[in-house]
Amino acid sequence: MEGSLAGQRIRVRLSALVNFLTNMYRIVASIIFSLIVIRRLDPNDYGLYSVALNTANALNTPNNVWSFWSSRRHVLGISISPKASMILSLLYLVISIPLYIFIVMPLAGSRHDGLLIVVLIIIFYMLTTPLAPVSGLITLYAPEKYGYLMLLFETLRVILTYTLIIGMGSGIVGAIAGPGFAGIVLTIASIMILLKAGTFRVTILNIGRNLGESLREAVNVLRLSVLSIPSAITGFIASFDKYLMSLIASSTLPAAFASVSSTPKLIISPGSFTIGLYAKMLRDPSKQDAADMIILYSFVSIFFAATLSLLSIPAITFFNPSYASGNILLIIASIEALIAGYAAIFESIAMGSERADVASRSIYDVIRTPLGRIPLIQMLRFVLSVSVAAVTQAMIYSAGVRDPVILVLPYSLSYLVSVIPYTLYVYRLAISKIKLEIPWVDILMFLLALLPSAYVLKLLGVGDIIISSFWRDIVKILPGVGVSAILYIVVSILLSKRLRYLVRSGMMFLISSIR
């Protein structure tokens, strides 16, 4: 069948290598982007920017659900499924856009550029959602190409945002439009790659063609989307928490602190490793591939989590000295992100190995599998976490506390506490699908490799530096971080036999590619 990718061979380690290297670039680019935005916007402006953008992301959640199912079904041979997702997204815009205006305009309306901010977010972040399946197909067709596309996106995002904010002084408008233009270029490039590869033809963008078949498939996607209602609620709550904490505190300052302190969740990201792993599990589940991804994720993320925690003060003031008091929030976010990364790997194994959505006609059979259970448990985790945190924040605020760090702390702690049992649950689901063996020895070796790395940072005393003058203070930190990273890498490679093999294999591939 046209566009079927079920027979495509997925090279998990190549995908992990390419996406890891590009993710390193993404981290640097994201830091530069955040630096441009956070240092150029005062906390109140940045708080509004965060709330407005996160509200759009929350309302876009159903589009992510349809994109997930349509991309998955396309891989398993149903080539018209992406068009069905586009139809559903177009219909949903009739609801989401008016709702977004109703929610955000009260916050932005008092500004002279408030209407422009709302209109730009609608244009760049909402009207483009019907093309969401394009990104999903790239990750399932050739995950390594997703890494190349991210290089393009991140480069354009930084250049355009720098030009608009610093060069033209456009403030929040530039922070919205820069990534928006870059996202449009990314979508066009993704479509060109998919068309060239024959994954789908340009006629798929013609909604009117084969409309009857597309509508029937839209019904199937919508039926399966019932399984993702918990995921939609989860995404909405995860994006809506900043709006909620601002509403309770009658200020956008808590949202600003929450956004800045959540930076570790962008850096400690399992995406480089789960993209290829999920695509592989859809085709040929392998416990060795899963174990290797855990090793690579642990090697990278344990170092990042530890370094960000030890350097929490310079890390959070890297963006703006005004956030110095929020370093405890960054430490908590680092630990939570590390644990959540393992959960994401287990999710990819459990859900990628499941076939009930195509093998069974009954939706109730699918609900009893990881495809139904994982979204439900995710939803329960976030509902409980945000509910407890919101009630706690309201009590603290009623007691007269106005410190934004204290007001955000209940959210940080509830997310951290709840991620532990959730990770254990998805681990049990993963090992029920494949006989996964956690590489505990390698993880222990990485923890041991942290000791000399952490000692160097403590010895140099860089953990208490507040970056008030960027170029003056950053040079005090970088040498120590560089030495610490080199020590960690060398000791980890010496101690972990499997990591040595993976590094050697990656180097051989790079050398052969150059030749």
Contact 100, 122 (CB under 8 A): yes
Residue 82, token pair as written in the block: 């992406």
pLDDT at 37: 87
CA 190/CA 196 separation, integer angstroms: 10
Structure-token match 């998919």, residue found: 194
- In single-letter form, the type of residue at position 35 comes to L
Distances (CA, A) of 12 to 73, 100, 510: 20, 39, 15
Question: What's the mean pLDDT when you consider all of the chain?
Answer: 85
**In a domain? residue 489:** no
Residue 113 in domain: yes
Q: Is residue 63 part of a domain?
A: yes
What is the reported pLDDT for 446?
96
Q: Is residue 505 part of a domain?
A: no
What pLDDT was estimated at residue 5? 40
Contacts of 97 (CB under 8 A, 6+ apart): 122, 126
- pTM here? 0.76
Tell me the Cα Rg of the chain: 23
Residue from 416, 417, 415, 397 nearest 407 by CA: 397
Q: Which amino acid type is present at position 23? A: N
Structural domain for 422, as ranges = 12-438
Within a domain: 130: yes
96 domain residue, yes or no: yes
The domain tally of the chain equals 1
Question: Counting Cβ atoms within 10 Å, is residue 508 exposed (0-12), middle (13-18) or buried (19+)?
Answer: exposed
Model pLDDT for residues 82-134, shown as the tens digit of each residue: 888 888 989 999 999 999 999 988 888 778 778 888 999 999 999 998 888 88
Q: Report if residue 487 sits inside a domain.
A: no
Could you identify the residue written with the tokens 């003060």? 313
Per-run averaged pLDDT (10 residues), the chain, 515 residues: 44 68 81 84 83 87 84 78 86 93 85 86 92 81 80 93 90 91 91 77 64 80 82 78 88 87 82 78 81 91 94 86 90 95 93 78 81 91 94 94 93 96 95 89 95 91 81 84 94 93 77 62
Q: Any residues with CB less than 8 A from the CB of 146 and at least 6 apart, and which?
A: 19, 135, 138, 139, 275
What pLDDT was estimated at residue 6?
A: 42
Could you report how far apart the first and last alpha carbons of the chain are, in Å? Answer: 36
Q: What is the pLDDT of residues 233-252, one digit of tens each?
A: 887 788 788 888 989 998 88
Buried/exposed code over 159-188 (b: 16+ C-beta within 10 A; e: otherwise): ebbbebbeeeebbbbbbbbbbbbbbeebbe
CA atoms lying within 13 Å on the CB side of residue 35: 18
Q: What is the pLDDT of residue 514?
A: 57
- Residue 7 is predicted with a pLDDT of 46
Q: How many other C-beta atoms can be found within 10 angstroms of the C-beta atom of residue 28? A: 12
Q: What is the pLDDT of residue 2?
A: 39
DSSP-based three-state secondary structure for 496: coil
Structure tokens at 72: 């998955």
Question: Is 368 a member of any domain?
Answer: yes
Run of H or E including 469: none
